Structure 1
Amino acid sequence: MDAANLYRHVQEHYGKIANHTALTNLSDKYQEKVATAFGYTLQDIQSIPGNANLGVSCGNPLATANIRTGETVIDLGCGGGIDVLLSAAKVGPDGKAVGIDMTKDMLDLARRNATKAGVSNASFIEASITSIPLDSSVADCIISNCVINLVPKVDKPIVFKEMFRVLKSGGRLAISDILAKKDLPIEVREDLSLYVGCIAGASQVHDYERFLKDAGFEGKLTMPADCNLQGVAILNTNSDLNLYKELWQAEKNDSEVSSASCCGSHPGQLQGRAKSMFDFNEWAGSFQVYAIKPELGV
């Protein structure tokens, strides 16, 4: 499928999640279970409006972002606003948290959540993360949570170049994303429900290393990363991706979602029992990616 159609399917799927017309068969505690499994604390979740956490995270980028007061933080693919709102609290009234998302319904939800939370230093922009409508060198930190895997393969290098452009000299990048551990089977790569579910479009670690290097990030760090060093670090958190099977089971049981997320017949898709038995931890993992834009003259 071409990139334009992939973007359209992603927008439709996440628009329905934002409007709570998707995943209606999930248990009430599913979103909280996902967030805590992937690194958020109950205190984090309870400090923001409930529907800012939609249960679509694959990590907690704030865990390695080292956000400081007064900074400007940009969240690529902000969804309902969970990481923007948590970042806004960390940067304080003298800082800014900016969320970017291509799905209007998600942005509407994020803005409502910011208003409900009484957050005045957060803003939201409707745009693709392949063309960020901000000046160069404006961000101290860029974060993203389980979004870049949704970008079609042909466009992924552009995202990293945009992040490098928007970061200040010495600025840092903290990403949580799903990466493939090895080549995915064709029946997974061609399953559109697994594409919008963040598995089928996953790159491998060596792909991310190339994207980062080609964009201008260089060298390697060990985790946790020292902000005074230059380079990149990519770490498998070993979180359990099979947790998402509750979501896929809900999609199977919810005819509306099945239509929206392309779970119908498609050549090469995993079907029924095969999908439920597939061990996603064998093929993919939740990774933390940290990088620092080199200082000018260094």
Structure 2
Amino acid sequence: MDPKDTYRSVQDCYAGVASKIDDSREQGDYERKVAKAFGYDLEDLRSIPESANLGVSCGNPLAMANIREGEVVIDLGSGGGIDVLLAAKKVGAEGKAIGVDMTKDMLELARRNARKAGVLNASFVEAFITSIPLPSSTADCITSNCVVNLVPEVEKILVFQEMFRLLKPGGRVAISDILAKRELPMDIKKDLSLYVGCIAGASQVCDYERYLKEAGFQDLLILDTHGDLNIYKEICKRQEVNGLAPTGSCCDPIESSTSASRIEESPDVDFNFWTGSFKIFAIKPDVHG
């Protein structure tokens, strides 16, 4: 797929998710189940607007980020703002949390959620995560949740280079992402619904490690959390049986000229065989250390 077409498809998909949020009568049930399955605390989720959690997480990067008061945190692919708002609470009034997203509808949703939550130290930037209009050495920590896999393979190294540029010396990245455990077959790689659903664009573990090292990171940690990725399909099916329509999910039917079949229409694809939910941690070397 051409990178421009890939970005357009991803934007169309997630713009559709964001635009449907306010119209959902059952908003929150599916999203809470996914977030809880991938490590979010229910009390934390209750502390932010429900529409900040879109149910597209594959982990909880904040759980390993060791965020402290007064720090600056940048979240790549911030979506509805779940990790930005939670990080804003952790850094306190003297810190900042900055979300970066390429989709206008998501940015509007995130800003509404920040206003609803009364969070004053959060802001959002419209940009591709391969090129972010922020000064170098801005952040103490960079987080991302199930987003880097959506970047076309030929441009993935640019994401890690941007992370490295934006971090202060000694800064750290804490990422949750879907990585491939083995080479994905071509029929999966070319399935657009599996791409926007965070499966088909997954890098292999060895490639992710190479990207981080080539960008300059040290002290890498890449661990399989053994989270059940089939939960997306299972919850979608249960919701449909009960007559509910999950709104902010990878399985949501998006009315778009570029969107393909829904993710649950691939029942023979065992996501856990091909891919896994991984947590990734790395440090930018301290110039003094």
TM-score normalized with structure 1 length:
0.88
Q: Specify every segment of 5 or more residues in structure 1 that has no aligned partner in the other structure, as ranges.
A: 219-230
Q: Retained in 2: the 8 A contact 1:17–1:23? A: no
What is the percent sequence identity of the aligned residues?
A: 62
Instruction: Provide the rounded CA distance (Å) in 2 between the counterparts of 1:50 and 1:292.
Output: 32
Conserved in 2, the CA contact under 8 Å of 1:10 and 1:150?
yes
SS at match of 1:199: coil
State the match for 1:240 in structure 2. Answer: 228
**AA partner of residue 214 (structure 2):** D
Query: Which segments of 5 or more consecutive residues in structure 2 lack a partner in the other structure?
Result: 246-250
Partner of 2:259: 262
Cα 1:27/1:255, change in 2 over 3 Å: closer
CA distance in 1, matches of 2:103, 2:114: 17
Q: Distance in 2 between matches of 1:131 and 1:297?
A: 27
Q: Could you tell me which residue of structure 2 aligns to residue 279 of structure 1?
A: 270
What is the Cα deviation at residue 187 of structure 1? 1.0
1:49-68 CA-to-partner distances (Å, cap 9, x unmatched) read 01000101000000110000
Measure, in 1, the Cα distance between the counterparts of 2:40 and 2:13. 24
- Letter of the aligned partner of 1:152 in structure 2? P
Partner of 1:34: 34
Matched to 1:62, the amino acid is L
Q: Deviations over 1:143-185 (max 9, x none)?
A: 0000000000000000000000000000000000000000111
Question: 1:82 is matched with which residue?
Answer: 82
Deviation per CA, 1:95-127: give whole Å up to 9, x if none: 000000000000000000000000000000000
Contact persistence 1:26–1:247 (CA under 8 A): no
**Structure 1's 255 and 261: CA in aligned 2 closer, same or farther, altered over 3 A?**
farther
Q: Distance in 1 between matches of 2:138 and 2:89?
A: 19
- Output the aligned Cα RMSD: 2.4
SS in 2 for 1:276: coil
- TM-score normalized by structure 2? 0.90
Alpha-carbon offset, residue 262 of structure 1: 2.0
Counterpart of 1:290 in structure 2 is: 281
Tell me by how many angstroms 1:271 deviates.
Answer: 9.5
User: Between Structure 1 and Structure 2, how many residues are aligned?
Assistant: 279
The 8 Å contact of residues 13 and 260 in structure 1, kept in 2 or not, is answered as: no
> CA contact under 8 A between 1:44 and 1:86: conserved in structure 2?
yes
